Amino acid sequence: MSKPLKSSQAMPLSGGVRVPGDKSISHRALMFGALAVGESRIEGLLEGDDVLRTAAAMRALGAEVERLEDGSWRLWGRGVGGLQEPADVLDLGNSGTGARLMMGLVATHPFTTIFTGDASLRSRPMKRVSEPLSRMGARFFTREGGRLPAAVVGTDNPLPIVYELPVASAQVKSAILLAGLNTPGITTVIEKEATRDHTELMLRNFGATVDVEYLEDGRHAISVTGFPELTGRHVVVPADPSSAAFPAVAALIVPGSEITLRGVGMNPLRTGLYTTLQEMGADICFQDAREEGGEPVADLLIRASRLRGVEVPAERAPSMIDEYPILAVAAAFATGTTRMNGLSELRVKESDRFAAVMRGLVACGVKVEEEGDTMVVHGTGAPPPGGGTVAVNLDHRIAMSFLVLGMASGQPVTVDDAEAIETSFPGFETLMNGLGAKIETV
């Protein structure tokens, strides 16, 4: 059943909140805890549908996973190489991260795993993962185009590889490194552009040997040594910087707003949006910088600001690939033109986000153009007309982005189905309304 929501002009947003835990780190904490020896405890785990699907999958692969009364999670792992064949199909719902990383986990275990997901996930390409994992010895049986459902027949004689990523992808990098944990020797991934490094940081924290070598031509090689003994750890998950982007932009565009977002992850490979917003003139202060669970975090004080158009370089895309939809909303309110370069990866996310953002902006009266892999948004320095109904296509970030646009546009904005928001930001509507938004069921 669909869940249409309407967002109308908000009062000035105010207050302090903590958005849900980081989705990328939550997935990895569950997986690495399942591979560790002994008990792991996770605090701040994102309890959205994507992550809960990963928790269920790790149970199916033999780990003990339970939620405790205090809201933390406890895992008792199986050790590297100790996963067991699941009795049923693993349904990862909407989670590309869960599916791709888990394919890496099982590729070097000698059993068969069948993966499926919702209509959105079943439409997303998996060849970028299956191709390198096949080189390591796994076999893949998929639908046409390498799409789910897919059967992964793991190998009992895995081979280490050196693999250069054809496109920047933390998911593909991570899948290969996870397969390398249960592979003799050293498995190496070479990146042309740095992608989020949560896998490397957390694997080291659990006891793996992960080396990074910076090559002369600007590339760098990430290597993992096979058969480590991972040991259970206490993991504190920071607030998700991608989720924080929505109230952050809302506070920037709703006149008179001032909010604080607490404990937001500030990994430098995830903060491209905040760099870009500051270049646009955003009033964002980073307070009480600290480290939690091996990751840098800070509190963000954000005040309403007059934004100006900027040129966003293509090399920044890996550090903000999930944030382009909400950046496009900010650009709609800015004075002048914003050019976002290097957005090819947006076409293969939960939906074709490039097309979805453009359709949504047009529906809300914003002038936008496509120039190859560049999106050009023409802001006017004033609230856009709004009034549109935006097709979400099961994409949580499209839904949240256009609900934010409706908070400051001339007329309310409606999204046709906000159900997918639960995959990454449970309680989004309640949190935003608590700050002063006016989001309601249609």
- Enumerate the active-site residues: 322
124 annotated binding-site participant: yes
Structure tokens at 238: 């920071």
Query: Rounded to whole angstroms, what are the CA distances from 7 to 123, 189, 211, 341, 413?
Result: 29, 44, 47, 29, 5
411 annotated binding-site participant: no
Q: CA-to-CA distance for 438 and 435, rounded, in angstroms? A: 9
- Angle value at C-alpha 196, between 194 and 199, nearest 5 degrees: 115
Q: CA-to-CA distance for 196 and 46, rounded, in angstroms? A: 18
171 annotated binding-site participant: yes
135 annotated binding-site participant: no
359 annotated binding-site participant: no
Which position has the token pair 């919702």? 118
24 annotated binding-site participant: yes
Amino acid at 424: S
Nearby residues of 78 by Cβ (< 8 Å), 6 or more positions away: 34, 35, 61, 62, 63, 84
23 annotated binding-site participant: yes
Cβ–Cβ under 8 Å, residues 358 and 375 = yes
Residue 137, helix vs strand vs coil: coil
Which position has the token pair 């607490």? 262
Q: Is 431 exposed, middle or buried (0-12, 13-18, 19+ CB in 10 A)?
A: buried
278 annotated binding-site participant: no
424 annotated binding-site participant: no
Structure tokens at 280: 């646009």
With residue 287 as reference, give the H or E element that holds it: strand 283-292
Which segments are annotated as binding site for 3-phosphoshikimate? 23-24, 28, 169, 171, 322, 349
Which segments are annotated as binding site? 23-24, 28, 96, 124, 169, 171, 322, 349, 353, 397
Which segments are annotated as binding site for phosphoenolpyruvate? 23, 96, 124, 171, 353, 397
